[in-house]
Amino acid sequence: MMNDIEKYYARTFNTPSGKQVIKHLRELTIERVLGPNVSNEDLRWWASQNALVHQIENFIKRGNNPT
């Protein structure tokens, strides 16, 4: 089952539109710079969003390279 969902992620995000969406998600999360006065709550929220984007990227990679 997991290999199937990884293939679905790869198929979805390997399109031109999908590549733009994942790029946009990275800009909103992983590439975002937080200021020095960020609250603990905001930092946790940001870390959770980063983790989700990383998970999507990992699904895409595994879907592109099934073992």
> 2-20 b/e with 16+ CB inside 10 Å = b?
eeeebbebbebbeeeeeee
State whether the Cα torsion 37-42-48-51 is positive or negative. Answer: negative
pTM of the full structure: 0.88
Q: What SS3 class is residue 59?
A: helix
Chain centre distance of CA 37: 25
Query: What is the chain's Cα-based Rg?
Result: 14
Q: What is the average pLDDT across 41-55?
A: 96
pLDDT in the model for residue 64: 93
pLDDT for residue 1 is more than 70:
no
Task: Show me where the domains of the chain are located.
Answer: 2-64
